[in-house]
Chains A and B, each alone.
Chain A
């Protein structure tokens, strides 16, 4: 089992460009999450999907959109990247929202 995988590992964007971060899990989990991690700020929830077909905003959703493509895949889209979105992005999954979350290795995004 690969667990939670994320692509790409690292990306550089120019302000205004768009991109999609991909996440997939092979643990048959129902719930998936996107976090961003910034120095001194901890892990902040951007969006989550409690189950296939549902998505909900987290603490910092502005500037992002998500798609729960199927049970395995949950993507995060930046429509018009801004330097404030420079961060490390983590995807996670869990059986249900109340259970242990398993994290992917992260995507490092630099917006110039």
Chain B
């Protein structure tokens, strides 16, 4: 069974750093792109970008380029999303998601989400 399990909720102060994780299982982790999607409170889905665990090829949305960093650790089938200096506006639910190999390609599996709250 394919699963993406994300790390738990975080409460941080503005200016702090943060790294959240997404562990894939039930499939060949290095063969599928992993994406990150932001959902601010009460708002819609925003595509942040994708990373290919096989070679760490990364594509950021221009809206998020320079604001976040994607990385992977292939040895433990885990993808990461990190911030070096959080802002209050980073408060949101963050989903990791697997990009299918099918025509499209759509997102076929999602993590359960990690809620990040940034408040002084």
Q: Do A and B come from one complex?
A: no
Q: A residues engaging B (CB < 8 A)?
A: none
